[in-house]
Structure formats: C-alpha cells, structure tokens
Chains A and B, each alone.
Chain A
Amino acid sequence: EDQVTQSPEALRLQEGESSSLNCSYTVSGLRGLFWYRQDPGKGPEFLFTLYSAGEEKEKERLKATLTKKESFLHITAPKPEDSATYLCAGLTQGGSEKLVFGKGTKLTVNP
C-alpha cells in the first residue's frame, strides 16, 4: 500500500533557528514528490516538486531535497510568517495521477 509519513507531527522553533522536516515514502514507482504549505482555514499552497534522488529545489528560506526513501524540507533562519502546516505528497504510478498525502508537520516559529 502506498504510504507517506511525515515527522515530526509538530515542531516549535525560535526565529532564526534552522531545522528540517522529514517525509518518508513507500510509493511504488514514485513519479514525483510534492511539498505544500497550508495556513489555517485555507487550501494547500504548492511549494515544490522533486522527481529524482539527489534533486534539490529552493525558495526563499526553504530547500527541499529527495533521496530514494525520503524527502527533507530544510528551513533556514525561519521567521514567524513561516508558521504553517507543511504537507508532503507522493504521485503514484499509473495513469490516474493520484497524490498520496502525509498527515503534515505543524510548524510554529516564535519571535
């Protein structure tokens, strides 16, 4: 069964304190690994797609990396506005183009 697991469930950081979020996956024939940000009461906002092990993508203070078993979202010198829930999803093999989502990591950055 295709599965995506995110850890930790919740993370509290001080402003400027860098850290990483983990997304491990068992998705057969993974065709892409997606990261989203979700603010309370809103829909998920697309951040990154990674396709192959070793790939990295960056956006402001965020950098996403991918290995054959997991992905990391590194947050460098976070600010309070980075507080959100970060979701990871794997795109399954086949023509249905289905995303399998993890439960998310709730990040809180204190000033």
Chain B
Amino acid sequence: DAGITQSPRHKVTETGTPVTLRCHQTENHRYMYWYRQDPGHGLRLIHYSYGVKDTDKGEVSDGYSVSRSKTEDFLLTLESATSSQTSVYFCAIRGPLAGNEQFFGPGTRLTVL
C-alpha cells in the first residue's frame, strides 16, 4: 500500500461542468502523476508534478489542468467536462525505491453525460 487515496471514487457529471479530482498521499513523495485509462488504449499520462507548484504536461493534457499547493495533494481539474473525458483516472506516485517505480491509487471512474 503506497498510501495513496483518490476522491471521489465515482462521479457522474454533465457536459460543460467543471470537475476536480483529488489525489492524496501520506508518504511525502516528490513525484506525482495523473493517468487516464480507456479501453483499447494503454494508460496515458495527463500531467505530472515533480514538486510543490512544479508541474508539466503529459501525452494527453488538452482539456485538463493540475495544481499542487501541498506535497500531499495533487488535483486534476477538467475545466469544462466533455464526453470524451469519460474514463478511469489513476493517480500515481514515484516510490522510494531507486528504480523509478510508480505506485498507483485505486482510481476514479468519471462519467460525463
């Protein structure tokens, strides 16, 4: 257990509404990541953070923004949700081992109607 929680675990929302997903970690890891997982695709990186207020874009960042004001929290915001953002979202942290292993949270299933 890497001490990662995600909230909410499930959410249904409507097109055009803003949505914020939260990732919380308890072990002071520097690196945190947001991925989405869709059928027919592998896990795809949305954004990542390498420290408080330090973030960068991943492969599929359009339509998403992130914030990290505290080490333990990494927020993913969909400013105006679209049906194409219906997905399962996973947060990950880079663990304490020397080999850059990433450890994943339980996921948030988001449905945009």
Contacts and interface: CB of A to CB of B under 8 A. Distances in A.
B79 interface: no
Chain B, interface residues (CB within 8 Å), range: 20 to 34
Contacts of A31: 100
A108 B15 CA distance: 37
B98 to A, nearest CB: 10
Given A49-B99, A51-B99, A97-B94, A4 B42 contact: yes
Interface centre among B31, B40, B43, B90 (most CB of A within 10 A): B43
B42 A34 contact: no
Contacts of A42: 106-107
Interface string A39-58: 00111111001010000000
B99 A103 contact: no
Contacts of B95: 46
Given A42-B106, A43-B107, A46-B103, A98 B43 contact: no
A46 B102 contact: yes
Interface residues of A, number: 25
B74 interface: no
Interface string B34-54: 000000111111001000000
Contacts of A98: 45, 48, 58
Contacts of A78: none
B43 A87 contact: yes
Contacts of A99: 43, 45, 102
Shortest beta-carbon contacts, A-B, top 9: A101-B42, A43-B104, A101-B43, A49-B99, A103-B42, A44-B104, A43-B106, A46-B101, A43-B107
Interface of A: 4, 31-32, 34, 36, 41-46, 49, 51, 87, 89, 91, 96-104
9 contacts: A31-B100, A42-B107, A43-B92, A43-B105, A46-B101, A98-B48, A98-B58, A103-B42, A104-B42
